[in-house]
Amino acid sequence: MEKLIFTSITILLFVSIVHAEFQFVEGVKSFKVESNLVEFTLRDAKLNIYLVDQNIIRFRYTNQNDFSKAPSYAVIYQQPEKMKFDFKEEKEKFIITTEELVVHISKNPCRISIYDKKMNLLNSDEESFGVSFDDSEVRCFKKLFKDEKFFGLGEKSDDLIKNGKQYTLWNTDYPEYTSKKDELYQSIPFFIGQRNYKSYGIFFDNTYKSYFNFGASNNRFYWFGADKGELDYYFIYGPEMKRVVSDYTKLTGRMELPPMWSLGYQQSRWSYYPESTVRSIAKNFRDKNIPCDVIYLDIHYMDGYRVFTWDKERFKNPGQMISDLKKDGFKIIPITDPGIKADSNLPAGRQGYFAAQEGLKQNLFAKYPDGITYQGEVWPGWAYFPDFTKKETREWWGDKLQPFLKIGIEGFWNDMNEPSTWGQAFPDIVQFDDNGFKSDHKKIHNVYALSMARATREGLRKYSDKRHFILTRAGFAGIQRYSAVWTGDNASTEEHLALACTMPQNLGLSGVPFVGSDVGGFMGGEPTNEMYVRWIQLGAFTPFFRGHSAIDTKAREPFAFNEWTEERARQIIQFRYKLLPFWYNEFYAASQTGLPIMRPMFLNYENDDNCYSRDAQFQYMIGENLLVAPVVTSTDKTKKLYLPKGNWYDWNNNKTQQGNQWLITEVPMNIIPLYIKEGGMIPMQITQNYVGEKKIEQLELIIFPFAKSEYTLYEDDGISYNYENDKYSLTKFECEKDTKSCKLIVNKLKDGFKSDRKNYLFTLLNTNMPNKILINGTKPLDFALEFDKERKILHLKVDAADNIKLQMEY
Ligand code: GLC
């Protein structure tokens, strides 16, 4: 029998050798067990299986003599030197067992199957193909289950469910892309597979051009692979999808807490200049009482698009402008493109460009294999490209940002960093340092922006104690460690209005929480008033909230539209500012857990099939408590939305709505449907024209009381890194309700930060007037109590204290 199997395998292999160049890995020759890994020598390759955690296993194959020593760009997690696991050899397979997983490694051919502890098969190699090498190309073929769903891959403009499609990851500048475009600015080779509501993730740690096929044109397998590099992937078991995403960010890192002001509204345009224009835009915001924290300077602020310079005619005294605007609550964020204009030697009488000269002299730019510095064409004309994979270049770049910090700049906008060059064909042969390991563009392309963001973040941290904001267009897995992301050059179309809802969710699911799209659409026509209103309503409920527009289009400031539109924009931006404590708390949570702020419905309601329907992707959750159902077709008068199980409070009409059903709700232009989950608490404050304008003496806590629930509020100064030294506070709110009573308990859990708070305003929704109220055992004064009979809302003003007990009886 054994012999027979062997013969048929031989025939199969023979056939494959004759008909294809793919070499599918064969049998195991020998193995070695270490403290946290098992090394297998295969007949034609090597396989190392690392036990990263009880639910995380790394499979690493190479057909070279040895594994690469170059460090990962994405993974920053240090694997423990010892890991508890069992290893067993049987006749036909090896078995690795952790506390959560059982891995079978068949001997001949070598194929992987992964089970949970109840021996449910979670994921397995396709029996015949497994892992293959074709010259430099690597692939992994996995068994495709009919009922398996796939999600992830970061910045993709199609639906959230990825089944039946093939994708390529190659950072691409593609202005005015549509939902049909595959490659975009970011490459995140991480996806989630889910069957029977059990999820796992696969992070393919390979920076070359990579491919993912989730059953496109075949019903037999799914596969992922890359043009070159190792077949190196992490299998992350949930079974909860939240744990998969969170653990993926344990590997690739999490967002730092951004400055609080970066959660406010940001205004951009290609380009605001000269200085008087910037000042008048700022003045308009203040005169019109439209909150705004940031104004961007696009490429025209520079001298001939030379990075690190100012156009002295347009901006005579940038330092003065920045400091004046800062007094009025504005931060100025300049664009910083990587391309350094190649004019080190100018004709007599003109000085060469210092950045070009320094870069050439210090050997900081990417070069051809013959040592000639590469030049590609981009905004400044022919330009050199800093090699951010070289430590010295990163340090140099960080140093170049210092003059900006000195004049008060607190944020940078990294663009054209795919890297983008006209023609979009950066030559493959261009060489990079690759942290001393020397590689070409094929390997570095996808991590160029990640390395640039790293240089920026490290430079800012080195010279300043303040938190800074960084925005990037391109990136790779791990970009969340350094930067927020916007979805590039979108268009003023209905399609993009809807994409502004789905793309940030997809990025969030791939570890990037600080995301958003240009409100109003960047190019490709103008938004109608209605479209702009719907867009800004949605933007106000995305983590990154910025209006921006291209050079030859209409501006996207709220006051560039008619009064009717401006008023609606003002209302929603003000509402965003009222919700800042809520947003900040969600940012804090994301920095701790790596979970998205703006979440697909199915992330929170993984067992609810309705949440996977296409319609449900046009609504989402912010954290756990708030459901947002934006209008994504501007002419729509109604919105179809789904409320999962439980009760929901409709914030717009003050009614409780039963969940587990689809609804069709009317959406007048001043409304974006918002629902608070039962038990949900939402902290709010007064609106401001900018973060820090006013002393915030009252925190309003909106509570939709239900059975038992709790909420913990994080607070710090919002500006510095002092929170890393314990300078933050945590306040826990617990609410308990039954038919006769409602109790609210406040407890300060941690007191490292003192806010200006003098009182709480507790706003209890869907409540009757209690016949007895006691605050810390005594009756509240009349002025502190207000009951809105019609809307069934009770407001209670209570002095701020570390411990408060509120009791209501009905
Ligand atoms: C790119 C950016 C866009 C910017 C423009 C000019 O197209 O994506 O946001 O305004 O370049 O710098």
pLDDT band at 782 (very low <50, low <70, confident <90, very high): confident
Residue 196's Cα: distance from chain center in Å?
Answer: 27
Give residue 541's pLDDT band: very low, low, confident or very high (50, 70, 90): very high
**Residues with catalytic roles:** 415, 418, 489
User: Which of 171, 301, 416 has most ligand 1 atoms within 8 Å of its beta carbon, as the pocket-test mutant?
Assistant: 416
Q: Are 302 and 353 a contacting pair, CB within 8 Å?
A: no
Average pLDDT of 541-547? 98
Distance 415 CA to ligand 1 centre (A): 7
How remote is the CA of residue 447 from the centroid of ligand 1, in Å? 20
Question: Is the predicted pLDDT of residue 348 greater than 90, yes or no?
Answer: no
Which atom of ligand 1 is nearest to 522's Cα? Answer: 9
Ligand 1 pocket check for 337: Cβ under 6 Å: no
| One-letter identity of residue 320 | Q
Name the band, by pLDDT with cuts 50, 70 and 90, for residue 21.
confident
What pLDDT shows up at residue 4?
40
Please, is 449 exposed, middle or buried when counting C-beta atoms within 10 Å of its C-beta (0-12, 13-18, 19+)?
Answer: buried
Res 344: pLDDT: 80
CA of 502 to the centre of ligand 1 (A): 22
pLDDT of residue 795: 97
pLDDT at site 350: 74
Q: What is the pLDDT of residue 20?
A: 58
pLDDT category, 761, cuts 50, 70, 90?
very high
User: Average pLDDT, stretch 321-339?
Assistant: 98
| Enclosing H/E stretch for 279 | helix 275-287
CA-based end-to-end distance of the chain: 79
How large is the angle between the packed helices 448-463 and 391-400, nearest 10 degrees? Answer: 50
What pLDDT does 349 receive?
72
- Indicate whether residue 335 lines ligand 1 (CB < 6 A): yes
Residues paired with 688 in a beta bridge:
none
Q: Does the pLDDT value for residue 19 go beyond 50? A: no
Beta carbons of 389 and 453 less than 8 angstroms apart: no
Q: What is the mean pLDDT of residues 262-277?
A: 98
Rg over alpha carbons for the chain, rounded to the nearest Å, is 28
Q: What is the pTM of this model?
A: 0.96
Exposed / middle / buried, residue 329 (Cβ in 10 Å: 0-12, 13-18, 19+): buried
Q: Which two tokens stand for residue 781?
A: 């004064």
Angle at 151 between CA 149 and CA 156, to 5 degrees: 140
CA angle 408, 414, 420 (to 5 degrees): 150
Question: Does the beta carbon of 488 lie inside 6 Å of ligand 1?
Answer: yes
- Is the beta carbon of 489 within 6 A of some atom in ligand 1? yes
pLDDT tens-digit series, residues 138-190: 999 999 999 999 999 999 999 999 999 999 999 999 999 999 999 999 999 99
**What does the mean pLDDT of the chain come to?**
96
Q: How many A from CA of 580 to the centre of ligand 1?
A: 28
Interval 445-468 mean pLDDT: 97
Q: What is the pLDDT of residue 636?
A: 98
Place of tokens 């009757």: 768
pLDDT at 7 over 50: no
> Are the C-beta atoms of residues 61 and 138 closer than 8 Å to each other?
yes
Q: With pLDDT > 70 as the criterion, what percentage of the chain qualifies?
A: 98
User: What one-letter code names the amino acid at 456?
Assistant: T
Which residue(s) pair with 226 in the sheet?
138, 210
pLDDT of the residue at 447: 98
